[in-house]
Chain A
Amino acid sequence: TRFMTGFSSSLASVSSQLRGVVGLEIHAQIHATSKLFACSRVAFCSPPNSSVAFLDASLPGTLPVLNRRCVEAAVITGLALNCTINRKSLFDRKHYFYADMPAGYQITQQRLPIAVNGSLIYSYFGGRKRNQVLSRCVRIKQIQLEQDSGKSLHDDQRSQTLIDLNRAGVGLMELVMEADMSCGDEAAAAVRELQLILQTLGTCQGNMSEGQLRVDANVSVHCPGEPLGVRTEVKNINSARYVARAIDYEIQRQKKVLENGGIIVNETRAFDSKSGTTIPMRDKEGLQDYRFMPEPNLPPLFVYEDEASVPAGVNPTQVVMIDRLKAELPELPGVRRARMVDQYKILPEHSFTLVNEDGLTEYFERVVRNTKAEPRKVIGWVMKELLGNLNQQSLKLAQSPVSPEALADLLNVLESGHISSSAAKVVFQEMWKAPEKAVEQLVKELDLGLVSDREKLLKICQKVVDTHPEQV
């Protein structure tokens, strides 16, 4: 027994030293009018098989034609993520049989992708009270262009599979994030930051529930300093809030397995949101050999630095130029956050929330523009009163009954000394309920106006004194 106790306690101490190692493979649907190699429309929620080009259905004799917008989206995304853009990249065929992949192969970029060696800086609320903004960096291994597959629905009752090819051939950017993360929170924050960046760039709408952004996690555990453990792949993470849960569950599961003396199997597991656990997926007949082969119908893809580097005989309007795209990059979230702190002297935590919530920065800045009140005062109202109400009633910012101008009005009234700050809070709640009423009107109705006229004040005081002789 002493041996057993010693053994299990040493296992337990091993387990407590085990740390998670998390990498991510993210598929981002490119925001474009048409698909990667065909001119069928990219449509969400269209009737099944209503947006299928001949190529998407793999009709024999069809050939892929590269969509320029998709190349630009990949370059823009690569630039925003500090990647090296490969001036030459190649397309390959990845072969496997599946009903939603009509050609029997996917066109991807296995040998030489369009962008490599980038990085993503992300922040998240950490620390003991989770109110500290912590900053981390994850390396981006590569970004590659590839085709999305169609969708298959298994109808077990009738022993049939229904195929919808609307999604077949839509352009994807596959982003590979190195295993630089250690837990669910970090991974979730990295995903969130990527989502924000892609939405800011306009290269991907990033909606996970609509499948525009799909996250697979590679998870393993090890003791720091020792070699990496066997990893599993976790799929079927269908929303941002499941990213952390799925990964943390898997880390815990692996720790428990090792704690009990077991070993981790290299396998693919699906996240089951109902139970919050990961389940092994159906074994894909052992190791898959994808028989990669260069795509013979697509010559190498060249992108050029600038017009000067475009070779003679090539029409400059027919090529992608990096400097043009660089010049058009919008303000990225990280830059915006820093600017907000710098320009408005607000706290980093507040800046983080402002940039994190869709449209909140714009809201805040509109209020600031329309009011005499200092931004530092405005931020308090936005963080507490506005966000508080929205969260309480599960509303999105766009549904806020109080517009930025209305809030600015309120703050102006407060600044002028016409009402007290506690009164202002009351007025805000009334504004929320009755957005059609102007601030001044509400102040009057509620009789919350501060009196500052000396004469009037004297009269009131006198009245109070007169009506309460005993106290006086």
Chain B
Amino acid sequence: MLSLSIGEVSAALRKGRLSATELCRRCLNRIRKTRHLNAYITVTEDLAMKQAQEAELRLTRGKPLGPLDGIPFSVKDNFCTENIETTCASHMLRGYFPPFSATVVQKLLDQGAVLVGKTNLDEFAMGSGSTDSVFGPVRNPWSYSVSYREQSREQDPDSDWVIAGGSSGGSAAAVASLSSFMALGSDTGGSTRNPGSLCGLVALKPTYGLLSRHGLIPLVNSMDVPGIMTRTVHDAATVLDVLQGRDEKDSTTVESAYSPSSLPEEFDVRDICVGVPKEYHAPGMSAETLAQWGRVVALFERAGARVKEVSLPHTQHSIVCYHVLCCCEVASNMARFDGLQYGHRSKVDSSTEALYATTRHEGFNSVVRSRILAGNYFLLKQNYDRYFVKAQQIRRLITEDFRRVFQSGVDVLLTPTTLSDAARYSDFIQEDNRTRSAQEDIFTQPVNVAGLPAVTVPTALSSRGLPISLQLIGQSFQDMKLLTVANWMEQQLDFPIIRFHDDTDQERECKLGS
């Protein structure tokens, strides 16, 4: 039951074949059973049951609020949730209870969705592994899957578990372990797509400006977007429709010119042109990922789509451009954490300056501190032109690269999402956060730099039994069109549902048909 899509389970709820409270209870049980994944920071049991009861009332009366009524979901812990602890996985915000909810969270709650918990992440969304959280790292659910354990030489899963990716690893683990049907992540350089890819999910990064960032604790204001994680493309489209739209509380949102609310009934893949950027053949990409890339290109070609190689010449500069701008914005955004109004406050009070310094030293981990230092350096008057302005100029060139390619008749681009399948935690932590981020974000961050929509779609299992996924990149504000192509691709691939040894037959085979 828990592995059903939102569409399927929503139909079951509306037809009375399943009760919302029962569904909620199952998800909460699942959370308890999968505690070892460390996906959740806060589990909102009482609230969830209350919301489920309200949903049940509406459903039994035949008056659901919409397709998400009664559906359990989780939210990355950098989205504000009213009166629910919001920590950003940092000491700085432990014990912080926001007095308001993020717009995207509120929209889901207004549709009757049931919030089961706040998920784990890299501290302040800085990282690509969900390994730098004060609550400990997140484990990829596939570490315990039949497919991984069968080929693993280790007996003890605790020694060779793999990372969930980051920074929205907890959200990905929640959906992939079947304790949530959908989850909100955030995506600044790939933080939703990366864990989505490693956990075998559909993860959408919408166009910048399509979804409201009000209540999303910012990393890089000019690149952050709320991300959507689901198990099918259709589900992602359903959630996108609920969340998209101008928010007067967020001046960077726009009313997009024409915004369809669902995937089209009719779609002919022969109408589209798929671009394959040659600069995305990065060193370090695994052979299996490369093979999958080739496989899916061939799929499109055989089905009659036009496929052509394209060039995005400034790709090689993108990661540095991203890091400079990211550090600058981080230095600025983190300036508010001084312990005065909210959050952690140091006991040192010999002077205001001493209070600030120790509060910030105690509250932030070394990743956050190093980005702040770098950002302040780049923003110094004598450095501003050489770093910040230069990076913005490079940014424009990268954006132009994409624009030119789309103008030449390409509808979507097809690239890998990550270099390979999920790494073992013990291997991943051999390099520091900065190094890993630079490596892992290679395919995802140019999309943030340019503000485009992108979605990762799981394609197959690797020889290690772990998900390999590919990324589709679309044009600005053409998110539904992007999902249409992704939907077609998903249907061709038939990626397997995750299976665990301890799944009961009942759970596995329960298919409440539509």
Task: Mark A residues whose CB is within 8 Å of B.
Answer: 54, 57-66, 93, 95, 97, 99, 102-105, 159, 161, 163, 289, 291-293, 296-299
| Residue numbers in A under 8 Å from B102 (CB-CB) | 61
The reply to whether B341 and A95 contact each other, CB–CB distance below 8 Å, is no
Closest to B92 in A: A60
Q: A65-B249, A104-B335, A161-B352 are in contact. List 4 more A-B contacts (CB 8 A).
A: A291-B376, A292-B384, A293-B328, A297-B221
Total contacts A-B at CB 8 Å: 97
Distance of B64 from chain A, by nearest CB (Å): 30
Select one of A102, A291, A293 contacting B341, CB under 8 A. A102
Given A61-B215, A63-B250, A163-B340, do A296 and B380 touch, yes or no (CB 8 Å)?
Answer: no
Cα–Cα, bound, A104→B330 (Å)? 12
Select one of B100, B340, B356 contacting A54, CB under 8 A. B100
- 30 residue pairs bridging A and B, Cβ less than 8 Å apart: A58-B341, A59-B80, A59-B100, A60-B98, A60-B218, A60-B336, A60-B337, A60-B342, A61-B214, A61-B215, A61-B216, A62-B214, A63-B249, A63-B252, A65-B248, A65-B251, A66-B251, A95-B379, A97-B353, A97-B356, A102-B338, A104-B332, A104-B336, A161-B352, A291-B331, A291-B379, A292-B381, A292-B384, A293-B329, A297-B252
The reply to whether A297 and B381 contact each other, CB–CB distance below 8 Å, is no
Cα–Cα, bound, A230→B384 (Å)? 27
Cα–Cα, bound, A227→B424 (Å)? 69
Looking at chain B's contact residues, is the secondary structure mostly helix, strand, loop, or mixed? loop
Cα–Cα, bound, A62→B335 (Å)? 14
Select one of A66, A95, A163 contacting B335, CB under 8 A. A95
| Residue numbers in A under 8 Å from B250 (CB-CB) | 63, 297
Decide yes or no whether B213 CB sits under 8 A from chain A.
yes
Distance of B423 from chain A, by nearest CB (Å): 31
Closest to A161 in B: B352
Cα–Cα, bound, A95→B335 (Å)? 8
CB-defined interface of B314-337 with A at 8 Å, one 1/0 digit per residue?
000000000000001101100111
Distance of B256 from chain A, by nearest CB (Å): 12
Distance of A37 from chain B, by nearest CB (Å): 9
Distance of A205 from chain B, by nearest CB (Å): 28
| Residue numbers in B under 8 Å from A95 (CB-CB) | 332, 335, 379
Decide yes or no whether B222 CB sits under 8 A from chain A.
yes
Interface size classification for chain B: 35 or more
Select one of A159, A293, A299 contacting B252, CB under 8 A. A299
The reply to whether B332 and A293 contact each other, CB–CB distance below 8 Å, is yes
The reply to whether A291 and B214 contact each other, CB–CB distance below 8 Å, is no
| Residue numbers in B under 8 Å from A161 (CB-CB) | 352
Given A57-B341, A102-B336, A296-B329, do A289 and B216 touch, yes or no (CB 8 Å)?
Answer: no
Q: Across the A-B interface, give the 10 residue pairs with the lowest CB-CB distance, nearest first.
A: A104-B335, A291-B379, A296-B221, A296-B222, A58-B336, A60-B217, A61-B215, A61-B80, A103-B336, A61-B217
The reply to whether B217 and A97 contact each other, CB–CB distance below 8 Å, is no
Given A93-B332, A296-B221, do A102 and B340 touch, yes or no (CB 8 Å)?
Answer: yes
Distance of A81 from chain B, by nearest CB (Å): 28
| Residue numbers in B under 8 Å from A163 (CB-CB) | 340
| Residue numbers in A under 8 Å from B335 (CB-CB) | 95, 97, 103-105
| Residue numbers in A under 8 Å from B381 (CB-CB) | 289, 291-292
| Residue numbers in B under 8 Å from A93 (CB-CB) | 332
| Residue numbers in A under 8 Å from B342 (CB-CB) | 57, 59-60
Q: Which of A93, A163, A293 has most B Cβ within 10 Å?
A: A293
Decide yes or no whether B138 CB sits under 8 A from chain A.
no
| Residue numbers in A under 8 Å from B356 (CB-CB) | 97
Decide yes or no whether B425 CB sits under 8 A from chain A.
no
Distance of B235 from chain A, by nearest CB (Å): 26
List residues of B (164-216) whose CB comes within 8 Å of A's CBs: 213-216
Closest to B247 in A: A63
Distance of B248 from chain A, by nearest CB (Å): 7
List residues of B (232-252) whose CB comes within 8 Å of A's CBs: 248-252
| Residue numbers in A under 8 Å from B93 (CB-CB) | 60
Distance of B352 from chain A, by nearest CB (Å): 6
Distance of B449 from chain A, by nearest CB (Å): 13
Cα–Cα, bound, A4→B388 (Å)? 57
CB-defined interface of B40-51 with A at 8 Å, one 1/0 digit per residue?
000000000000
| Residue numbers in B under 8 Å from A291 (CB-CB) | 331-332, 376, 379-381, 384
Cα–Cα, bound, A66→B250 (Å)? 10
Q: Which of B220, B251, B376 has most A Cβ within 10 Å?
A: B251
Cα–Cα, bound, A412→B349 (Å)? 74
The reply to whether B352 and A99 contact each other, CB–CB distance below 8 Å, is yes
| Residue numbers in B under 8 Å from A97 (CB-CB) | 335, 338, 353, 356
Decide yes or no whether B264 CB sits under 8 A from chain A.
no
The reply to whether B80 and A299 contact each other, CB–CB distance below 8 Å, is no
| Residue numbers in A under 8 Å from B379 (CB-CB) | 95, 291-293
Decide yes or no whether B99 CB sits under 8 A from chain A.
yes
The reply to whether A64 and B251 contact each other, CB–CB distance below 8 Å, is yes
The reply to whether B214 and A60 contact each other, CB–CB distance below 8 Å, is no
Cα–Cα, bound, A83→B43 (Å)? 58
